[in-house]
Amino acid sequence: MTSDFLLALAQAITKGLLTGMVYGLMALGLSVIFGVMRVVNFAHGEMMVVGMYLAWMGFDYLNLSPVLSLPLIAALFFAAGYVLQRGLISPFIGRPEHQQFLLLLAVAILLVNGCLAIAGPDSRGVQMESQFDSYELGPLVFDAVRLHAALIAVAIAVLLWLFFTRTRTGKSIRAAADNHMGALVVGLDVRRLYAFTFGVGAACVGAAGALMITIIPVTPFLAAEYTLLAFVIVIVGGLGSMTGALLGGLLIGVSEAVAGLLVQPSLKSMVSFGLLILVLLLRPQGLFGKSNP
């Protein structure tokens, strides 16, 4: 009885960790954008859903596995994010929060209803043979698609880390985030760096969408839920912190999976929101963030 329960718990935690990596990648995009230009992307879940739809279309029309379409989607999202930042968001940097909120809300409405108009309200998923595969490690069973998605998410996070620590552009972006005026003084093209950052954040969430579609089917109505989920993750992890977003993703993934096991599945997001309230009040810089939010 107890060993059965422990096994189920271990299984739920495993599943939560794997899904949590994909959540983490999604939240990473939000965190990078906020960390650098102090803009909260209220259209983040909507962008995630667009990524899921694109991967579904690639699979359905071109017979392209989401894992293969992922680089294409990420590249497309990078370009779209770059243009979006240059054209729409740039003038709103430093403006009052409610104006940024309204701007991105309008973008969110356009994206999610664009999906609705093109793909309809039915849920769309991909059917792949690997969805029935699994790996076993002792008594634990890993879904193949979940494990692949988690590994790819980790790989992308590592690439991103290399980008921000090893490349000139990445370092410049961090410099602009740390000291906007200083970056201008030493002659960095901050506007271009901001557009680049938004592109990188968008590419993260697009890639996360391509991975997520292998785990669950997509509907337009998931968008708002993902936006909230991404907020919860980055706040719990620490807004603006990259490792915080990833660890926050893991934490929320696990807490959702465990709550689904211990209490009713419909109560699972109550745990996440409860966690969000506690973190906001007791440690607003996030569990893994630096001391000054």
Instruction: Output 128 or 228, the one with its CB closest to other proteins.
Output: 228
Return the biggest CA–CA distance within the chain: 66
271, two tokens: 């745990």
In the bound complex, what is the minimum distance in angstroms from residue 201's beta carbon to other proteins?
A: 16
Q: How many residues does the chain have?
A: 293
Stated as kind and residue range, the H or E segment containing 262 is: helix 242-262
Instruction: Output 69 or 269, the one with its CB closest to other proteins.
Output: 269
Instruction: Output 27 or 150, the one with its CB closest to other proteins.
Output: 27
Closest Cα partner for 154 from 25, 289, 288, 19?
25
Closest Cα partner for 84 from 241, 196, 227?
196
> CA distances (Å), 203 to each of 80, 97, 181, 246, in order?
9, 24, 27, 16
Tokens 């001391």 correspond to 291
In the bound complex, what is the minimum distance in angstroms from residue 89's beta carbon to other proteins?
A: 11
List interacting residues with other proteins (CB under 8 A): 40, 88, 91-92, 95, 97-99, 101-103, 105-110, 112-117, 120-121, 220, 224, 228, 231-232, 235, 264, 266-267, 269-270, 273-274, 276-277, 280-282, 284, 293
CA distance 115 to 202: 17
CA distance 221 to 153: 24
> CA distances (Å), 138 to each of 3, 5, 17, 143, 144, in order?
14, 16, 17, 14, 16
Instruction: Output 71 or 274, the one with its CB closest to other proteins.
Output: 274
Instruction: Output 113 or 165, the one with its CB closest to other proteins.
Output: 113
- Any idea what the Cα angle at residue 250 is, between residues 135 and 174, rounded to 5°? 125
In the bound complex, what is the minimum distance in angstroms from residue 162's beta carbon to other proteins?
A: 29
Q: Are 242 and 201 in contact (CB under 8 A)?
A: no
In the bound complex, what is the minimum distance in angstroms from residue 178's beta carbon to other proteins?
A: 20
CA distance 214 to 128: 8
282, two tokens: 């007791």
Instruction: Output 71 or 94, the one with its CB closest to other proteins.
Output: 94
In the bound complex, what is the minimum distance in angstroms from residue 93's beta carbon to other proteins?
A: 13
In the bound complex, what is the minimum distance in angstroms from residue 280's beta carbon to other proteins?
A: 5
Torsions phi, psi for 218 (to 5 deg): -110, 145
Instruction: Output 98 or 166, the one with its CB closest to other proteins.
Output: 98
In the bound complex, what is the minimum distance in angstroms from residue 90's beta carbon to other proteins?
A: 11
